[in-house]
Amino acid sequence: MEPVLAKLLAASLITPFLTFWILVLWGPKIGKPRAGWVGLIGGMGVPLALSAVVFVTWFFTSPEQRAELTAAAQHSQVLWAQLGRFDVTFGVKLDSLTVAMHFMVCFIAFWIFFFSIGYMSGHADCVHHQSKYWRFFAYLALFAFSMLGLVISPSLLFLFIFWELVGLCSYLLIGFYFETDYAPPAAMKAFITNRVGDFGFIIGLGIVFTFLGTLDLEGAAAAFKTQLATSTGLFAPQVTVPIFGWTFSGMTLATLMGVGLFCGAMGKSAQFPLHVWLPDAMAGPTPVSALIHAATMVAAGVYLVARVFRLLTPDAQMFIAVIGCITLTFMALIAIVQTDIKKCLAYSTLSQLGYMIFGMGVGAWTAALFHLITHAFFKAMLFLGSGQVIEGCHHVQDMRRMGGLRTKMPVTCWTFFVGVLAIAGFGIPGVHLGHWKFGLGGFFSKDEILAVAYDRAYNWGRFGAPSEGHAEAGANGEARPANKEKHADGGTRSAESAAGGRGVRLAAFSSGSSEEVQHSAAGTPAQKAAGSEKDAHGAEGGEHHASEKDGVASGIQALPKWMFWFAILTAYVTPFYMFRAWWLTFMGHPRDHHVHEHAHESKMMTTPLVVLAVGTLVSSYFLFRPMLSHAAEAAADAPLVVAVDGEAHEPAAALLSLDHTPERDPHKKLVGLVGFAFLIGFAVSWAIYRNGLDVASRIKAIPPFNLLHTLLERKYYFDELYDFLWVRGCRAVAAVCAFIDTWVIDLVYNLLSGVTERIAAFSGRVLDAQGVDGFVNGISETANDLAEVLRKPQTGGIRKYVLWSVGLATAAIAALIVVMRVNGG
């Protein structure tokens, strides 16, 4: 089969890249506003059209055809470079996750581009004789190119290359207002913080390449499975494999590899403790904030975790869950006290990203990605709505100066409210509208994440239990019986199958490929194998049992209960601060009449809000919700599941099932816990803020709320802590280094140079000039003086020569006579 869809996805990279260069080279000539339309059509219009074709085709394609298209795309990869015996190929990773992410990025980015044309038209075009308008859309086009390249990359190498390009574009766009005092430091903060995370990412890549022998995603997963199947303590205790046999600081290299790869996601998705850059990223234009928070940069971190999910050990996944849990709770609390509308949304993004990372950590792979996609729609709408408010109020961002804007901005008000309902988890449990459950995407996705977390925290002993009649040590060390039900014909089926297929198991678009279908709430192959060391021939008495396919949860620790309750707390906090933001901005009475009088809406900017509001509803139901709501029907799209032994099994296999029996269905438990959390959050927020800020001001003056308010307002003093540890710490280290350089290194250098100079002077002036040169010159001068003496008799007169000859001969004879007489005597 021809890789048609893969070629279309690859072609979607061309026009954003060309648009970037067109605007860089001819942007000033194209001018304003035509440069914006060039950016819209070339940067995102063409990619959206291509992505829509791929999306619709994939959506209506059978699982068998999807598998063929995936294989064709993999076989069509081209050789890019050779590193010794390793081939580095470039191509397209075609599967359901790629298709869904690619369409989401294109769709949302297109409307952000559209919104930007109206938003940037009101800005001054030149700063320091440099045009801003075309430059903005050039950066957006490069940003789109980088993100789309990241999504379709089939290898970790190219994913990392585009990953770094995304970081560069974020630096350029956050610091777009380079003439201000606040934008350049914010851009530098984002860039440096992400480099910290990327350092761990590079370590993870190094381990992948060194011990798995490839950076290809499929190849690495296959090699990891091979390593897993032969490592110490799993299937073959007699074989020692380095990635599981070597430890570093108490962690196996396999765990360190997963943690290292996740460090990259910690930076990009702004997870604790690398979260500090994202609120400051509000220094860029509001469309940039929408693009970063919804469709590109922060989504890249979650996407990375989804891609490397099969390389995560149970310990690595628990680390991810802890980080996500801390982030989702602590950032939600900070959002309560924010007065800047964009920063309130920024901290809500941090909290929601924490939900996604937490979902990945507990094994809710599908629910986390579902939340990523639904969140992208309503968060883009919320940020663009805030941009409409800021632009219409002449760049006022303080919600304390707003109020009553619903009459001035009705479309913005009610589309913003749709986003508030979605993020707050609006839904009514048990109420159905025909085939559909009543609620928005945030309600469904959070519910699925919390359901898996509840199972991991409270039902873990019954989760993925061994086959009938065989007891297995659960996560708490207790023996757990098998959780199977008897068929009428004497066979067995899983609890999930008996419950009507209510498990959280399948990707949003299950294709049957090895990339997706093994993702489940039960965890990664590493997790499944952690408890799979079984005797294929049964226990004593010759009783036959299933081997590796049973007891998958026994070696995976249960989720600490505090993590589950942190997530429950956040489910109440989120609707409170979001309804607070909406009420302070749009409802009540105007608190600043100057702001209210000049507030207005722009039709160019309201169109994307309406489209994204509709997209929020559609993404909640038509595209993704049916795949999660009816897992039994979705299982038909994934008839085969790759288990830890590398063979295909029916999706009803117990190792892929949550214990969703009617008597232990976690969704029923969650109805009582968070079913109406959004109503409680709304009610409390209305009670406090219905008359403005008076009640809130009185509450925060009461101890200990005043201390809590200060703590949250100062963001737990993380900026101060990092400033003390890193900024001032680095400056202190720099000062010490400067002192050592000046008073130690320079002193020694100057001393040695002085001594050397004096030795050179003594050698040159005394030894060389007076010694060597003096001796040579003395000999030459003596010879010259002697020559002068000997030359004087040489006058050239013959008579003098004869006289001198006679005289000398006479003297010689006289001397001879004297000598002879002396000798004779």
Residue 796 one-letter amino acid: G
Q: Give buried/exposed letters for 621-649 (b at 16+ CB in 10 A, else e).
A: bebbbebbbebeebbebbebbbbbbeeee
Residue 234: per-residue pLDDT: 39
Q: Would you say 557 and 475 are in contact if contact means Cβ atoms under 8 Å apart?
A: yes
Q: Would you say 456 and 325 are in contact if contact means Cβ atoms under 8 Å apart?
A: no
Tokens 């085969």 appear where?
A: 640
Give the pair of three-digit tokens for residue 378.
């309503």
Say how many CA atoms lie within 13 Å of 527 toward its Cβ: 30
Whole-number Å distance between alpha carbons of 328 and 351: 4
Whole-number Å distance between alpha carbons of 598 and 392: 7
pLDDT category, 665, cuts 50, 70, 90? low
Using CA atoms, how far residue 665 sits from 634, 669, 719, in Å, is: 19, 7, 43
Q: pTM score, two decimals?
A: 0.78
Nearest alpha-carbon partner for 115 in 385, 319, 348: 385
If phi over 0 gives left and psi between -120 and 50 gives alpha, with beta otherwise, what is residue 664?
Answer: alpha
Using CA atoms, how far residue 479 sits from 448, 462, 475, 661, in Å, is: 28, 10, 9, 20
Whole-number Å distance between alpha carbons of 431 and 416: 24
Give the pair of three-digit tokens for residue 13.
């990279």
- What share of the chain has pLDDT > 90, as a percent? 31
- Work out the angle at residue 314's Cα, subtended by the Cα atoms of residues 317 and 71, and round it to the nearest 5 degrees: 80
DSSP 437: E
Q: Taking the CA atoms of 551, 555, 561 and 564 in sequence, report the sign of the dihedral they define.
A: negative
Tokens 């209506």 appear where?
A: 60
Cβ-based neighbours of 177, under 8 Å, separated by 6 or more: 183, 283, 284, 285
Residue 621: per-residue pLDDT: 62
Q: Is 248 helix (H, G, I), strand (E, B) or coil?
A: strand
Q: Would you say 641 and 648 are in contact if contact means Cβ atoms under 8 Å apart?
A: yes
Most confident of 185-199, 241-255, 425-439, 650-664: 185-199
Q: Taking the CA atoms of 711, 712, 717 and 718 in sequence, report the sign of the dihedral they define.
A: positive
The total number of residues shown for the chain amounts to: 825
If phi over 0 gives left and psi between -120 and 50 gives alpha, with beta otherwise, what is residue 307?
Answer: alpha
Whole-number Å distance between alpha carbons of 65 and 58: 9
| pLDDT at residue 677 greater than cutoff 60 | yes
Give the pair of three-digit tokens for residue 367.
């629910």
Give the pair of three-digit tokens for residue 510.
């299950």
pLDDT category, 459, cuts 50, 70, 90? confident
How many helices (H) and strands (E) are present in the chain, helices listed first?
Answer: 36, 14
Residue 129: per-residue pLDDT: 54
Q: Is 343 helix (H, G, I), strand (E, B) or coil?
A: helix
Cβ-based neighbours of 299, under 8 Å, separated by 6 or more: 101, 105, 269, 372, 376
**pLDDT tens by residue, 292-347:** 887 778 889 999 999 998 888 888 999 999 999 999 999 999 999 999 999 999 99
Residue 530: per-residue pLDDT: 37
Using CA atoms, how far residue 574 sits from 41, 347, 424, 570, 682, in Å, is: 36, 10, 6, 6, 10
Nearest alpha-carbon partner for 311 in 364, 359, 368, 243: 243
**pLDDT tens by residue, 384-393:** 999 899 888 8
Which residue has better confidence, 53 or 771? 53
pLDDT category, 792, cuts 50, 70, 90? confident
